[in-house]
Structure 1
């Protein structure tokens, strides 16, 4: 059982019940001779949660007692029932099933909802409408600017494309290329001993490091 003070029960307006049978109890602090007494106490059902509502305890029955030292005393059965672990060194109370620290709660991670297909289509329609509207405004502004400053958009006359001159220039380029190839072949023939083919690496002599003609 969890213990809860009578004043807290009244302030929260909790519904109370009676135990089906009396229970034997002893005082937590005594003079060395614990006295056992039997009483039938009222109780209520409670479920605790942290302020961020990220963790909730399992419903438990709390015995209603007057003049407690604290509004509510949980105790070991509550920790065991809700799988809570107390780490005194780290000053933490962890929920084993979620690793949630009741004494140091982290801010919740907000995951945005996934939009439905109808919401996606509606968003795309709005974007299309905005794009068309802005296009209309920009075209109007551009036309007004051209109308206001026509001199900025006058183009200089350009000579028409001369097909004959272009063909002549291309023929001259090809003739020059042919002449260069013939000259290259003639030089290679005159100096064939210099521009001869280089033998393969395996066929090169190994006893000659340098030879000057």
Structure 2
């Protein structure tokens, strides 16, 4: 009676419940707590009991008996007797083949369960012992071979060179740091920097630099702000000299051409910050019911000062997102000029990174008509996704996974195969002339070689034998012309029909 619903039920009908007998009380309590048709579900669970692979017979039989016992006490008409339960357990066994070899003849349910349990324990003991012997044999063979490869392994194992080509991923091209621009070189020279490690006021130059090039994945173009920050980290302060008043009407000069003064005795260590810092834009992908193929890329704004997530009406229509009416009290956005930013609806969406390695949970965004940017990710998004923004490093890191939304890892460019070049045609094999057409070889001596003379003699003997055979063939055909007719008859109509065999 510790459940809240049971306490409410008892307080509502306390006098009625106190007057009930135990059977009536249990029946009324069961109708309140148990779901409708629970007896049929438990009966089907008993009838369809099946022993799982790896499960012991004792545990499975005990669970099935417990369910049947509950039915016997609460709904006896749905329970099965011991004979039916024995047949159900016999049909659901997974060691049926072993029992066919050594059948269990007990008719009593408990005796049958005990006998089958003994068979199951014996089979498990044999399987464990066999696995132990296999492991011991494998370890002994491994210790005897001492690194030697058997014949079966040599036949089935690929060669190291072929296996490495098949299993290892394609070689990744190392991305090199981009070369310095003229502006970066001037900035490094102006602030005593090194063109190799690309740091300001480091105390050395390129010739005596012991460092390495910056990481190409995280490298960004050097700016005056980097020089100011590194100078402050090394105890130096940069101050911009004042321009004359007439220079205000001239074209603004490049920041690299400005003159700076170093001051190591400034008591407050003040460093002039930049006048303008770019917004934090992140490239994300969005999807919706209207997008049938790949998600569409969207440039969104990370705004720590916006109290809501805002999406433009045009983008929400393009994605086909379902719109919900926005509560009146949530229509509370306004611009810096204190003019209201009307929102009447909101949508639900998921935000994914450009490479697809990071996906947010479902967030709600207010829909605004005429929003100047497709999507503004305000404080609700940053708080729910645990995004930590560092304006100095320009990072937006998920504290749970360490994924940086603003600096996704760059991937090497795709390497295309070279264009197919048609190979030159295969040269034709030279045709050899017959021996009769070959010119007579030049010989300085008047006598032929012995090998040539033997070939000539053998050829003469072959020709003489062929001539002799042809003459003998002609003589025999002439002598026995009646036996060898010149032409056979075309049909058998004129043959005699009075000859019996």
Is TM > 0.5 for Structure 1 vs Structure 2? no
Q: What TM-score, normalized by structure 2, do the two folds share?
A: 0.19
- Greater relative contact order structure (CA < 8 Å, 6+ sep): 1
